[in-house]
Amino acid sequence: MTQLKPFPEGFLWGGATAANQCEGAYDADGRGLANVDVVPIGEDREAIITGRKKMFDFEEGYFYPAKESIDMYHHFKEDIALFGEMGFKTYRLSIAWTRIFPKGDEEQPNEAGLKFYEDLFKECHKYGIEPLVTITHFDCPMHLIEKYGGWRNRKMLGFYENLCRVLFNRYKGLVKYWLTFNEINMILHAPFMGAGLCFEEGEDVEQVKYQAAHHELVASAIATKIAHEVDPENKVGCMLAAGQYYPHTCHPRDVWEGLQEDRENYFFIDVQARGCYPNYAKKKWEREGIELDIHEEDLELLKEHTVDFISFSYYSSRVASGDPAVKEKTAGNIFASIKNPYLDASEWGWQIDPLGFRITLNSIWDRYQKPLFVVENGLGAVDTPDENGYVADDYRIAYLREHIKTMNDAVNEDGVVLWGYTTWGCIDLVSAGTGEMKKRYGFIYVDRDNDGNGTLKRTKKKSFDWYKKVVATNGSDIE
C-alpha cells in the first residue's frame, strides 16, 4: 500500500452540490421560479443556456429535470447523515435565491426558505460538518430576468446585496465559509445560467457580457465587505471553472494563444483577488470597442474588498492552438477546447488529466498567493447497479485517487496552501451541462433516470467506503 503524507491538520474533506441540481421542490413553501428551473433536458438546452433561445417558463413538450431533481429538499436529513457517515468535514451547497426572495426584488425575505437552510445547517453541525455555502450557483430569479434583464442591469447589485445581508445575519454562527458566484467565468460561455442574460438580434453580446461581469464582480466585493462586517470570522471566496491551458505545440504562436485563453478565465480572479482590472483586459476592451459603465465607487469596492481565498473546480486541463488548421475539439465543462492526444476521456468526452490538476493548483497559487480551496472535482460516468442495487464504481475511485495523489504532491511537495477538497456531486444529481441524471458523480446512488422515473432510493456505492477511508486517514491511505 502506498502511504502518502497526510494533508495538513484540519484539511476540509467533503463533497459538493448545488441547489438547482439536487433540491427539487421547485415551488415548495413559497419558492419562486428561477432561470435554472426552466432549462429543459434535450437539444434546445444549449441554445437556452447560452442565451440564444428564450425560455422563460415551462413549455409543453419539454422535461425539466430541476423541478424534482433528487428531491433533497425532503431528503436532506437522510443525505447529510450519509455525508456524516463518510466523515465529511465540510459540505458545499448552494442557496436557491428564490427560496429566500421568490421574486428577487422584495423587501422582506420568505421565512420558510430561511428556515429550510437553517435546519439544514444545523443538521450539518450535528455531524461536525462545516457548511461551505455558494450564494448563487447558476441561479437567478426569473422575475429579475424578465423585469430587469438579469445581471446586465446595475439594479442587480442592490438585489444581491439584500440577499447577502439576510443570509449573513441569519446564519451568523452557522456558516463561516461563503462563495459569492459559482464559476464566475461561465458568464462568458453560458450567460443565461447565473447571469440570466438573453440576447436580442444584432446586440453586442461581448459588451453585455462584460457589463454583467462587472456588476457581478462589484456585487462580489459588496458581499465580501458585508460578510466581514457582520462577522469577522467569515471567510469569503471567489470560484473559478479552472483548468490550465497547454499550448498545442511549442510553436510560440500556440504558447501565446494558451496565455490568452488562460487570461480570459483568470480575468475574473485577477479582479476578485487583486482588486483591480488588469491592463490586458482594458486593452482588449479598447480594441474591441467595449465601453463599460464603471462608477468611481465600484473601483474602490473592488480594491478594498478582495476575497479571503480562491476556490475552483477542476475536471480537466485544456489545449489552445494559434493554428486555424487545428480544429479537433474535445467536450468539456461547458466550453470545449482542442483535443489533447495524450489523454483519455470520460464517457462524455471530458479528458482526464491528474497531473494537470497539480499544474493548475500551482499556477493559481503562484499567481495569487492566497489560500486555495478545490470545491469541485470528479468523474461523470454511467453507473450500472447489480441485482442488489450495488454499484462497484472502480473507475470513479481510480479517477479520484489519481487526482488526490497529485493534489497531495501540490500540497506536500510544492507547498501550495490548500484549505480543502470537495468532490462534485457527492450524491448523484442532475447534470448542469446536459440535464441528465445518467451522468453520475456520486458516492451515493439515487434511483432516478433521465425521464424522471425511479424511487429516489439512496444506495451507497463502492466509492462510499473508499472515500470514508480517505477522509479518516486525512488523505494518506487512498488505495
Q: How many residues comprise the chain?
A: 479
Going by C-alpha positions, the residue among 172, 86, 83 that lies closest to residue 124 is 83
148 or 441: whose CB is closer to ligand BG6?
A: 441
The residues that touch ligand BG6, with contacts defined as CB under 6 A, are 18, 21, 182-183, 241, 313, 333, 376, 380, 424, 431-434, 439
**Minimum distance from CB of 177 to ligand BG6 (Å)?**
16
What lies within 8 Å, CB to CB, of 252 at 6+ separation is none
**Separation of alpha carbons 218 and 195, rounded Å:** 14
13 or 181: whose CB is closer to ligand BG6?
A: 181
424 or 467: whose CB is closer to ligand BG6?
A: 424
| In the complex, residue closest to ligand BG6 by CB | 433
> Which residue blocks in 252-333 are alpha helix, DSSP H?
252-274, 279-288, 296-304
Point out the catalytic residue in the list 376, 387, 402, 436: 376
Q: Quote the cell numbers at residue 78.
A: 437522510
**Minimum distance from CB of 331 to ligand BG6 (Å)?**
10
Residue 458 main-chain phi, psi, to 5 deg: -100, 135
**Separation of alpha carbons 24 and 453, rounded Å:** 14
**Minimum distance from CB of 111 to ligand BG6 (Å)?**
28
Torsion sign (Cα): 473, 236, 151, 121: positive
35 or 182: whose CB is closer to ligand BG6?
A: 182
21 or 340: whose CB is closer to ligand BG6?
A: 21
Q: Are 421 and 42 in contact (CB under 8 A)?
A: no
Other residues' Cβ atoms within 10 Å of the Cβ of residue 46? 15
**Minimum distance from CB of 383 to ligand BG6 (Å)?**
14
Residue with cell 484540519: 10
354 or 442: whose CB is closer to ligand BG6?
A: 442
320 or 437: whose CB is closer to ligand BG6?
A: 437
18 or 310: whose CB is closer to ligand BG6?
A: 18
Query: Which residues is 242 bridged to in the sheet?
Result: 314
Q: Quote the cell numbers at residue 192.
A: 443565461
Active site residue 402: no
Nearest-Å Rg of the Cα atoms of the chain is 21
Burial class (CB in 10 A: 0-12, 13-18, 19+), 233: exposed
**Minimum distance from CB of 182 to ligand BG6 (Å)?**
5
Looking at the chain, the number of H-run helices and the number of E-run strands are 14, 14
Going by C-alpha positions, the residue among 157, 473, 166, 163 that lies closest to residue 302 is 157
**Separation of alpha carbons 219 and 343, rounded Å:** 38
**Separation of alpha carbons 190 and 242, rounded Å:** 15
Q: Quote the cell numbers at residue 196.
A: 440570466
Q: Quote the cell numbers at residue 189.
A: 460561455
- Catalytic residue annotation: 376
